[in-house]
Structure 1
């Protein structure tokens, strides 16, 4: 079937050997209406056979990206002819062509092509005296053209792709136009890189790592797929689901203030606050159980590092504590030896963390006031209930939990230098294992440091709104943030294997 372009004045047809493409009108109603408006034919409606040729697109083809200038046709060198225009005389058409040339010359002059305009002005100035010196009957003689005049006029004009006569344009105009198109593309690419859009993150792993702490976009997309079913699909929301997750990760990763994030994403501070709390709750209920869990003993034994394979083959967990300062001191109730209750000022929160020998976080407690002893913290955290008979727990020398561990028929091993030196004094055969024990202690510290470096919000100080306890889950928002950060860390490359 032979297709003809529907644009008024365009004579392009699909013929054998043509390099032109002919496109159907889009099925999307909004985009289709924009194409019809661009064609600008009053009262005209396209049908199934209507086609638009590729000459009406800047790049020579349609683009389905809404951000592209070729999403809608925009190249129309000749407007549709109304009935009154069809009846215009040849003199009026010539005047219109002259006006187009003048406009092109003005554009060239603004782009630095003044020489062409100056030469054109000189030509006009040379022609004007001749018209003044001509006799009154010259007006009638102008309508009579000789064959030489016709040939000269044809040499000064050409036919464009639309089939309309235009004045010949110097090569400098084409080069300037190409330079402007190239500059436009470069500016669009630069703007895309600086923007916080999904497309700008897909092929830029450095950008993903800087803003989210995740190693690449694949991991980010995996987290996104896990959370999307639980995220609200409000059509009127100012932030997309991608932006909601990105904003929350930037809050954890860079510890940015809500006002800063509001400026970056073009929303109100209240929107940022609600988004962060909502996404944290979703990750706490969906991501944490998936990424932070206590492995089976078979898996622990199968992947036990070489440094522990000989010394502690039954090692189940390495226990340590870390503290986070508070932005504003809190008053908490503490039970004294007497029945009365007193208020104590708390300046920091304390967490117990359990790390598998492979470097994966397997347990995180809730935050407790900084003055709570390690023994009470471990006893109330629920860590002991995960131990099985025969398990070995590695900890520091000041972890006074030996009795609690033995009650679960497990064994506590101390890995600090102090304790090791005392053991060496009694038994020189332990000297060979000192370096292994020290490296074990440093190993868990490396995991904690990595989580804090990856998500700066864990370094504190903790803002007061995050210390409020959610009555539905009886967990504070910052406790959820700590567990979410550990879960995200487990999705990344964890601490170096213990060797």
Structure 2
């Protein structure tokens, strides 16, 4: 508005009605007020803040063009003005022809201002978007680094993570959030439920929670949401993945196992599953009775205990619920449900502590033990060493599960209602996160 006022003052025309089509000729501006075009087809533009200053009232006249060498100058008759001649205000400023079509160099101040403002707004938008992308914590921030993806999720690469996302994404409309469960509105479509984060970033948060053992308050600060929102997201996703991944049959029929049996198992070709127990340290309950039930003499601490089964080629094929740490290996075999999957003609491979011969209907491969003898026979030693070499794969699998730092610390009592889901999901994720347990087992490209 200030520039407009200056223009009107400089033009000095009474009753001057300015319309969107009003133009001021470029000859009313000084040379340094005009910015020359950058290209041949470009337009000349005004310098910001330029004001027309060359008018007849300040003794400015348009210099006459210099005639060519062969042109004759035309003598003009002297002007004759009668005393009663009135000069119209319109003619005062018309020191050159404005009746012809506007010159391309004619500058529209409003258009110039709008254009410069648009450019500035676009530049600032791009800058804000770039800063937001750099600051926003989520999967897209680390998409270009497999090393970062491995650190935050335990998935070996971004490509593997996206393949996993493609598997579970079709089930997202059926996800029941904790808020819905509390209200009892299980039939509401989740498309009507507002999310603080994109679903893929919610998954990334949940995987980071397991992989790094991050505190909920830390995650709330990273993602810019409330801590209660983080708690709801973690519970919702643990239940969702527990349901979706748990609906996939992981127990592999024995004929399929034999089709993909690694060469290392040729002497134990009927092995269907390698079994072992794992224990997770937990917070000791205040009740003496519960303390005695969860106390593990092996760990000398309160624990939760589960049974894991691994196929010879390295895939998780059985996951039991978690039990109190005082449960015996024999009792966990009886209560876990593994016995219903075993048939005559199969074989299982276990540690020497699994004395379950009277429970299972199949063959057992187990390292020999002395049982009161001074030493084992040479045949028993060789067999024990061979079984130990093969059983190391289930130990590697357990190590992969415990690479999720969530299980490094004591599991607090407040998570006992959700710990089975978290543990089961962590075990199932190992089937998607990595390659084969032994690199030599990787399928060679044809």
Aligned to 1:212: 153
* Residues 396-454 of structure 1: per-residue CA shift (max 9 Å, x gap): 1112222212xxx21222137x569979833x34554444212112221111001211x
Q: Is the 8 A contact 1:307 1:436 kept in 2?
A: no
Matching residue within 440, 457, 460 for 2:390: 440
Alpha-carbon separation, structure 2, partners of 1:211 and 1:419: 46
Tell me how far 1:490 sits from its aligned partner: 0.6
Determine if the alignment matches structure 1 residue 234 to structure 2 residue 192.
Answer: yes
Q: Is the 8 A contact 1:258 1:273 kept in 2?
A: yes
Alpha-carbon separation, structure 2, partners of 1:164 and 1:420: 106
Pair 1:139–1:398, CA change in 2 (3 A): same
Alpha-carbon separation, structure 2, partners of 1:226 and 1:401: 42
Q: How many residues align?
A: 340
Pair 1:393–1:226, CA change in 2 (3 A): farther
Greater radius of gyration (CA): 2
Aligned to 2:212: 254
More strand by share: 1
Aligned to 1:410: 362
Tell me how far 1:89 sits from its aligned partner: 5.5
Q: Is the 8 A contact 1:423 1:430 kept in 2?
A: no
Determine if the alignment matches structure 1 residue 382 to structure 2 residue 300.
Answer: no
Q: Is the 8 A contact 2:274 2:350 kept in 1?
A: yes
Alpha-carbon separation, structure 2, partners of 1:396 and 1:102: 85
Determine if the alignment matches structure 1 residue 278 to structure 2 residue 236.
Answer: yes
Tell me how far 1:322 sits from its aligned partner: 0.9
Aligned to 2:186: none
Determine if the alignment matches structure 1 residue 449 to structure 2 residue 391.
Answer: no
Pair 1:297–1:197, CA change in 2 (3 A): same
Aligned to 1:358: 313
Alpha-carbon separation, structure 2, partners of 1:369 and 1:378: 14
* Residues 232-256 of structure 1: per-residue CA shift (max 9 Å, x gap): 3235322221122121111111111
Alpha-carbon separation, structure 1, partners of 2:306 and 2:405: 16
Matching residue within 415, 437, 443 for 1:495: 437
Pair 1:401–1:138, CA change in 2 (3 A): same
Pair 1:104–1:295, CA change in 2 (3 A): farther
Q: Is the 8 A contact 1:300 1:316 kept in 2?
A: yes
Tell me how far 1:210 sits from its aligned partner: 2.4
Structure 1 unaligned spans of 5+: 1-81, 106-130, 132-136, 150-161, 167-176, 335-341, 469-476
Q: CA RMSD in A?
A: 4.0
Aligned to 1:146: 63
Tell me how far 1:383 sits from its aligned partner: 1.1
In the superposition, the TM-score normalised over structure 1's length comes to 0.59
Tell me how far 1:266 sits from its aligned partner: 1.5
Q: 3-state DSSP class of the match of 1:256?
A: coil
Determine if the alignment matches structure 1 residue 304 to structure 2 residue 261.
Answer: yes
Alpha-carbon separation, structure 1, partners of 2:20 and 2:168: 58
Tell me how far 1:387 sits from its aligned partner: 0.5
Q: 3-state DSSP class of the match of 2:419?
A: helix
Tell me how far 1:366 sits from its aligned partner: 1.2
Alpha-carbon separation, structure 1, partners of 2:426 and 2:170: 16
Alpha-carbon separation, structure 1, partners of 2:370 and 2:349: 13
Alpha-carbon separation, structure 2, partners of 1:198 and 1:330: 40
Q: Is the 8 A contact 2:279 2:325 kept in 1?
A: yes
Q: 3-state DSSP class of the match of 1:300?
A: helix
Pair 1:368–1:164, CA change in 2 (3 A): farther
In the superposition, the TM-score normalised over structure 2's length comes to 0.65
Aligned to 2:38: none
Alpha-carbon separation, structure 2, partners of 1:498 and 1:422: 38
Q: Is the 8 A contact 2:277 2:307 kept in 1?
A: yes
What pairs with 1:56-95 in structure 2 (closer than 5 Å)? 83-84=18-19, 86-87=21-22, 90=25, 94=29
Q: Is the 8 A contact 1:308 1:436 kept in 2?
A: no
Structure 2 unaligned spans of 5+: 1-16, 35-44, 67-103, 109-118, 176-189, 296-301, 442-446
Alpha-carbon separation, structure 2, partners of 1:382 and 1:257: 34
Q: 3-state DSSP class of the match of 1:495?
A: coil
Determine if the alignment matches structure 1 residue 326 to structure 2 residue 254.
Answer: no
Aligned to 1:37: none
* Residues 446-488 of structure 1: per-residue CA shift (max 9 Å, x gap): 11001211x22133311222202xxxxxxxx111111111111
Alpha-carbon separation, structure 2, partners of 1:367 and 1:403: 23
Q: Is the 8 A contact 2:282 2:411 kept in 1?
A: yes
More helix by share: 1
